[in-house]
Amino acid sequence: MQVRTDAIPADRATRWERLTALPLTFLSVMFLVVYAVPILRPDLPDSWRAACEATTVLIWLLFWVDFVTRLILAGERRRFLRDHLFDLAVLVLPMLRPLRALRLVTVVLNLSRRAESWARGRLAVYVGATTMLLVLVSALAVLDAERSATDSNITSFDDAMWWATVTITTVGYGDHFPVTATGRFVALGLMIGGIGLIGFVTGSLATWIVDRVSEKGRAAAATVDDIAALRAEIAALRRQLDPQASTTGDDPDRRDHADQPAG
């Protein structure tokens, strides 16, 4: 919290993000652990269960502290809120317990937002990581929601992971499916993630094919650099004609010079 107050706001926001990046990632992993353990071990003693619950609430409060601090440090607060609607929703909605785990996805999304370079390979790694996290968190959430429901068919973690995989790839065998309202909302998130995933893979492959095919078949398009080289050449030509006009030949509107006879 030792943020110098004499710096300009934008600087302090950046410094805060840099300072909290590692602790927040650690807190997110912790959150996943204390979220997962009571779901995976239904026979957990009540004392441990209470400890997990308490840790969840504590981490959630720390996420709130981080969000409010970033809001205060932000230059344009209205814009900050608009840009972080998903973060806010995840913080406000956790009354609905399973949705809280989606905070992890936010971490990955934040990581990818901070990345300077967006090469295709790096993008693929982030999409892959987000997909795996989404499958894991959804499996946990759906298992939590469905286990004790009547007529439920998702009662083990194996089945939950299998169901999440079958859903995100939009295969949908129908051997396992949620029957509770909460489970169905989790499924909705997974399906939207699945469509996004397919869209990303398709889009990446499409651009890759375009590059592969166009590299060979077509001549390279003229670039701004080619045009700049041409302009330099013409400028040199003008200087040759009128040595007095030895400044940059970039301004074609200087008619006074142009009106002088060339020789």
**In angstroms, what is the minimal distance from the CB of 149 to its own copies?**
13
Please pick, from the candidates 6, 43, 46, 259, the single residue that binds its own copies as defined by CB under 8 A. Answer: 259
Interface with its own copies, residue 165, by CB under 8 A: yes
Number of residues that bind its own copies (CB under 8 A): 83
Residue 70 neighbours by CB under 8 Å, 6+ apart: 13, 16, 17, 80, 84
Of 69, 72, 55, 61, the closest CA to residue 20 belongs to 69
Burial 36-71 (b: 16+ CB within 10 A, else e): bbbbeeeeeeeeeeeebeebbeebbebbeebbebbe
Give the residue with the Cβ less far from its own copies, 18 or 257.
Answer: 257
Interface with its own copies, residue 150, by CB under 8 A: no
Interface with its own copies, residue 155, by CB under 8 A: no
Give the residue with the Cβ less far from its own copies, 47 or 117.
Answer: 117
Map the footprint of its own copies across residues 45-84, applying CB under 8 A.
none
Rounded to whole angstroms, the Cα distance separating 104 from 131 reads: 12
**In angstroms, what is the minimal distance from the CB of 120 to its own copies?**
6
C-alpha pair distances (Å), 33 with each of 27, 37, 141, 193? 10, 6, 13, 22
Give the residue with the Cβ less far from its own copies, 76 or 175.
Answer: 175
Interface with its own copies, residue 207, by CB under 8 A: yes
Interface with its own copies, residue 89, by CB under 8 A: no
Give the residue with the Cβ less far from its own copies, 76 or 226.
Answer: 226
Give the residue with the Cβ less far from its own copies, 150 or 240.
Answer: 240
SS3 of residue 2 by DSSP:
coil
Contact 168, 135 (CB under 8 A): yes
Contact 163, 176 (CB under 8 A): yes
Interface with its own copies, residue 247, by CB under 8 A: no
Map the footprint of its own copies across residues 173-202, applying CB under 8 A.
173-175, 177, 181, 184, 187-188, 191-192, 194-202
Contact 152, 117 (CB under 8 A): no
Interface with its own copies, residue 85, by CB under 8 A: no
Interface with its own copies, residue 203, by CB under 8 A: yes
Burial 139-157 (b: 16+ CB within 10 A, else e): bbbbbbbbbebeebebeeb
Give the residue with the Cβ less far from its own copies, 65 or 229.
Answer: 229
Interface with its own copies, residue 118, by CB under 8 A: yes
Map the footprint of its own copies across residues 215-244, applying CB under 8 A.
216-227, 229-243
Please pick, from the candidates 41, 120, 132, 247, the single residue that binds its own copies as defined by CB under 8 A. Answer: 120
